[in-house]
Structure 1
Amino acid sequence: MNAPAATVRDLPHALHDADRFTAQLAGRRPAVFLDYDGVLTPIVDRPEDALISDGMRDTVRALARRCPVCVVSGRDRTVVQQLMGIDDLVVAGSHGFDIWSPQEGTIAHDAGSGFSDLIAKVTDRLRSDLGAVPGVVIEPKKASVALHYRLVDPDQHPRTAATVDAVLAEYEGQLKVTPGKMVYELQPKIDWNKGRAVEYLLTTLGLDSDDVVPLYLGDDVTDEDAFRVLSGRGVGIIVGHPDDPEVAGRPTAADFVLSSPAEVERLLSTLAR
Structure 2
Amino acid sequence: MRPIREVPSALARWDEVSRRLEGRRVALFLDYDGTLSPIVPNPEDARLSEDMVSTLVALARHYPVAIVSGRDLPVLEEFVGLTGVYYAGSHGFDIHGPGGQAFQLEEGRALLPELDAAERELASGLAAIPGAKLERKRFSVAVHWRHVEEARYAEVEREVDAVLARHPRLRKGGGKKVFEVQPDLDWHKGRAVQWLLRALGLESRDVLPVYAGDDLTDEDAFGMLEGRGLGLVVRGEVERPTAADYALEDVEEVRQFLERLITRAGGATR
Q: How high is the TM-score relative to the length of structure 2? A: 0.93
User: 2:55 and 2:107 mapped to 1: Cα distance?
Assistant: 32
1:87-166 matches, within 5 Å, as 87-166=83-162
Is the Cα–Cα contact under 8 Å of residues 88 and 102 in structure 1 kept in the other structure? yes
User: Which range moved further: 122-131 or 181-190?
Assistant: 122-131
Note the C-alpha offset of 1:111.
Answer: 4.4
Note the C-alpha offset of 1:192.
Answer: 0.5
Which residue of structure 1 aligns with residue 246 of structure 2?
A: 256
After superposing on structure 2, the runs of 4+ consecutive aligned residues of structure 1 that deviate more than 4 Å are none
Task: For structure 2, list consecutive stretches of 5 or more residues without a partner in the other structure.
Answer: 264-270
Is the Cα–Cα contact under 8 Å of residues 29 and 212 in structure 1 kept in the other structure? yes
* Root mean square deviation of aligned Cα: 1.4
1:113–1:85 CA distance, 2 compared to 1 (3 A): same
Q: Deviations over 1:7-39 (max 9, x none)?
A: 3x6111111111121122232121000000000
Matched, 1:271 2:261: yes
1:48–1:15 CA distance, 2 compared to 1 (3 A): same
AA paired with 1:121?
Answer: A
1:62-73 matches, within 5 Å, as 62-73=58-69
Percent of matched pairs sharing the same residue: 46
Q: Deviations over 1:147-171 (max 9, x none)?
A: 0101111111111011011011111
Which residue of structure 2 aligns with residue 86 of structure 1?
A: 82
Is the Cα–Cα contact under 8 Å of residues 93 and 104 in structure 2 kept in the other structure? no
Q: Residue 5 of structure 1 is aligned with which of 2, 6, 12?
A: 2
AA paired with 1:151?
Answer: H
Q: Deviations over 1:50-96 (max 9, x none)?
A: 01111101101100000000010000011011111223311000000
Task: For structure 1, list consecutive stretches of 5 or more residues without a partner in the other structure.
Answer: none
Q: How high is the TM-score relative to the length of structure 1? A: 0.92
AA paired with 2:84?
Answer: D
SS in 2 for 1:40: coil
Note the C-alpha offset of 1:110.
Answer: 3.5
1:218–1:259 CA distance, 2 compared to 1 (3 A): same
AA paired with 1:258?
Answer: L
Matched, 1:201 2:191: no
Matched, 1:219 2:214: yes
Note the C-alpha offset of 1:236.
Answer: 0.4
User: Which range moved further: 75-84 or 19-28?
Assistant: 19-28
User: 2:260 and 2:58 mapped to 1: Cα distance?
Assistant: 10
SS in 1 for 2:19: helix
Which residue of structure 2 aligns with residue 54 of structure 1?
A: 50
Q: Deviations over 1:125-174 (max 9, x none)?
A: 111111342211211111111101011111111110110110111112x0
Q: Deviations over 1:215-236 (max 9, x none)?
A: 0001011000100010011000
Is the Cα–Cα contact under 8 Å of residues 139 and 182 in structure 2 kept in the other structure? yes
User: 1:195 and 1:111 mapped to 2: Cα distance?
Assistant: 17
User: 1:92 and 1:162 mapped to 2: Cα distance?
Assistant: 30
Which residue of structure 1 aligns with residue 268 of structure 2?
A: none
Q: Residue 25 of structure 1 is aligned with which of 21, 44, 65?
A: 21
